[in-house]
Structure 1
Amino acid sequence: MAPMRFRIRRHFLAIGILLPLSAALLIFFASQSDARRDWPSAAWQTDNPSSHGVSSSGLARAESYAAANKTHSLLVIRHVRLIFEKYYPPFTALTAFDGKSVAKSLISIAIGRAVHEGLLPSIETPVHKILGDSRQNASWQSVTVRHALNMTTGIESIYADMIATSDWPAYIRGLPGTHPPGTVWHYKSDPMISSAVISAVAGVNARTYFQNTIGRALGLADFAWGQDPSGYTDGNGGALLTSRDMAKIGYLMLNDGMWNGDRLLPRDWVANVTFPSQSASRQYANIWAGATPTAITSPPIEYGLGWMCRKLNGVPWDAYWAFGGTGQFIVVIPSLDLVVVRTGSNGPSNDETVFPTLLANIVAAVADK
């Protein structure tokens, strides 16, 4: 029998060999799993709902509700497969839909990409250090990129007045502060400041930057996105995307900013932007949101940094979404590995009912939740 010290030495030697080997195997199998994931950069692969734990009859009930409520398109993705897709004439898979305030969520993603690339040090950076402060407006000395993302700049802009000018960010930056930054949330045009920040740090407008970085990686079709007369991308709306491309954006968020093995957004960025901003602004996460404060009021929406989140009856607690007026939405539910895209033409009066009801019907169809 070998002496104790040699048995111990062999034991630790084995551990020293097995640990690196185990790590290497984990990396190998993770990469194989990632390779088998069939990322939808080129196109979504389709499959039947039942193969992914979703009831076809349950989805049929959801579709009936959608059809009766001015829906233009409805897509459901689970386990990286497009398991349901419906368009209502005259709309088709080739239609580029105006996501309206979904654009706010795209601006949030573009800011995240700029941070990841090192173009923007952090979202705690004061805006005046990026855009300058030629107006010497003291109200802007403490406003950060974070404040612009979650609409707590304390600057009360008026949309109609803004679009009457030739430079929308300059209009907002010329206004005096009404509240200290970070203390009061108000749904307004602060995303135009985020758009201007991207232009300043990237050297191109937000649409071009988004398309050249995120869009190219995801395989998005080149898409139109409105801008002001000075060329700043409209941070409030006007991005025209197909429903399938909207689903890719949701899938990027579902995967924590990873795409086909590449990290496109900072680690934990998704968790940060989909976490409700602060008690003073419980209606806006950090731009994955988008509805007007009067559109969905009970219970209140919580807004992070461009994404909306709140507890909905029949929907898992971890759901969050990009939301645009008249019922455009990209919903992500990580616990169900689910992405839902819907476009439509609801009025403000029934946005509050159609969105949660349709989403709850789809979730109810997931049999293995």
Structure 2
Amino acid sequence: MKTVKNKNELLLLLFLILTSAGFAQQSGGLAPKATTDEAALSFRDIPYLKKAFIDAAPADRKDGILVGELGIDGGNKAMILKVVQEIADNNEGKFDSFLIVHKDKLLFESYYLHGRINLPHFQASATKAYTSMALGRAIQMGYLTMADLDKPLVSFLKDLDPTKFVEGAEKITLHQALTMRSGIRIRKEQREAFEKTPANLKGQGLVQAYLGHSAPITVASQSFLYQNDPMLVMQVIEAAVPGSAMDFIKNELLDKMGITNYVWQTDVSGLTSSGAYSRMTSRDMVKWGTLAMNKGKWNGEQLVPEAFIVKATSRIIYTGDDDVYGGGKDVSNQGYGYYWWNADLKYGDKSYFSASAQGGGGQYIILIEELDLIIVVTAHNNDNSTLQIIAERILPAFIKK
């Protein structure tokens, strides 16, 4: 038997024994499910769980996700359990779920508060990352090409009247729209005027309104601005693929990944909402993350071109460190790809590049390729520090010393 050499080792050993005992009843057990009545409620009305569900050896639910055991297949179990015990005891971050995938295996799964394994959670702006992947799927299938990313997006929209465009509108490329640099600038009063005549915004009418009422689009205006640019990209998908964009996304992405329990609303144009208003289960968020981590492959099939994934998750532009969502002292160099955020997460004297789908309220799919690590978080708190927690508390559990 190994001898405990000092007080710190003894304390760690006691903690591991106690937490392992405390969580053993939940490990491999039945994850909390929303009842039929609960599933019909608005998100805010779903009752909080009386007890957190924490599983360090997630069950194989035959849903296309490989599973393993934390500490056996990777990760420092004691370190992770310590973090989640703090979350469970004092959930000020208002976490609803926290999942960890390492080397393609789901090693840890937990649910709190509003979290349920079968309940699609609102995604907010994480939806933008799914829109990006949908465009990539259209490229993979030959309806568009990588070269098309640098073409004017209006060249794909044949129902528009270019004589009514503001100056510069015809020069906006798909690449610029994918990086929030369309340059479109619409006054609040103009947006409100649009809303009074929704019939004019159906189909490509929404794009016509934006390109006809924006301030002139110039090099100066085509700077990063987090706004409604994903709408432009969804319009191109709708125009390029056979049938509707929603049918295409369902048949060519969601169905292929076995994602069936979701909600994805439409916007005022009648098209699939591109920037928000989707809901996914936490495990299905794992699938989106796995698709991106594996460079567009799912079960050996290339669903999205690797070249597109590389662009989407890279730091195409630097957005600055003044306001990093979920950041902290160890999160820096925030940037943006194709609707995927990125930042450096520091632990010790080394920084690890992360790419993440992010949504308001604290929704994250975080990819750390160097560690082959995917972290999925759902929550209902905009004032979160999730990226800082990942850098400070989760990374060290997967870094080999």
TM-score scaled by length of structure 1 = 0.78
Displacement, 1:297? 7.5
- The 1:358/1:143 distance shift into structure 2, 3 A limit, reads same
User: What is aligned with 1:328?
Assistant: 363
Aligned 8 A contact 1:303 1:309 in 2: yes
- The 1:365/1:295 distance shift into structure 2, 3 A limit, reads closer
Write the mapping of 1:22-101 to structure 2, written as runs, cut at 5 A. 42-67=63-88, 68=91, 69-101=93-125
User: What is aligned with 2:227?
Assistant: 188
Aligned 8 A contact 2:326 2:386 in 1: no
User: What is aligned with 1:307?
Assistant: 340
Aligned 8 A contact 1:283 1:293 in 2: no
Displacement, 1:178? 4.0
Displacement, 1:306? 1.1
The answer to which of 112-121 and 42-51 deviates more is 42-51
User: What is aligned with 1:115?
Assistant: 139
Give aligned pairs, total: 319
Displacement, 1:333? 1.2
Q: 1:104 aligns with which of 109, 128, 147?
A: 128
- Larger RCO, structures 1/2 (Cα 8 Å, 6+ apart): 1
Displacement, 1:40? 9.2
- The 1:368/1:234 distance shift into structure 2, 3 A limit, reads same
User: What is aligned with 2:33?
Assistant: none
Displacement, 1:183? 4.2
Aligned 8 A contact 1:257 1:264 in 2: yes
- The 1:359/1:294 distance shift into structure 2, 3 A limit, reads closer
User: What is aligned with 2:185?
Assistant: 156
Using the aligned pairs only, state the percent identity.
25
- The 1:169/1:73 distance shift into structure 2, 3 A limit, reads farther
Aligned 8 A contact 2:99 2:376 in 1: yes
1:319 has 2:354 as partner:
yes
Aligned 8 A contact 2:362 2:377 in 1: yes
Displacement, 1:310? 1.3
Supply the distance in 2 between the matched residues of 1:251 and 1:316 (Cα, whole angstroms): 22
Displacement, 1:313? 2.3
Aligned 8 A contact 1:158 1:188 in 2: no
1:313 partner amino acid: K
- Alpha-carbon RMSD: 2.8
1:185 partner amino acid: F
Task: Structure 1: state its 5+ residue gaps.
Answer: 1-38, 285-291
User: What is aligned with 1:127?
Assistant: 153
Supply the distance in 1 between the matched residues of 2:114 and 2:306 (Cα, whole angstroms): 41
Aligned 8 A contact 1:156 1:188 in 2: no
- The 1:273/1:158 distance shift into structure 2, 3 A limit, reads farther
- Deviation sequence 1:204-244 (CA, Å, 0-9, x none): 44333222111122111152212123311221101110000
Q: 1:172 aligns with which of 210, 226, 230?
A: 210
1:172 partner amino acid: Y
Displacement, 1:271? 1.3
- Deviation sequence 1:157-199 (CA, Å, 0-9, x none): 4689278363243432222334328841111110010011111
The answer to which of 217-226 and 132-141 deviates more is 132-141
Write the mapping of 1:323-362 to structure 2, written as runs, cut at 5 A. 323-347=358-382, 350-351=383-384, 353-362=385-394
Q: 2:175 aligns with which of 130, 141, 146?
A: 146
Aligned 8 A contact 1:97 1:343 in 2: yes
Displacement, 1:200? 0.7
TM-score scaled by length of structure 2 = 0.72
Displacement, 1:83? 0.9
Aligned 8 A contact 1:211 1:222 in 2: no
User: What is aligned with 1:228?
Assistant: 267
Supply the distance in 2 between the matched residues of 1:181 and 1:114 (Cα, whole angstroms): 31
2:161 partner amino acid: S
Question: What SS does structure 1 have at the residue aligned with 2:75?
Answer: coil
Aligned 8 A contact 1:273 1:307 in 2: yes
Supply the distance in 1 between the matched residues of 2:187 and 2:130 (Cα, whole angstroms): 22
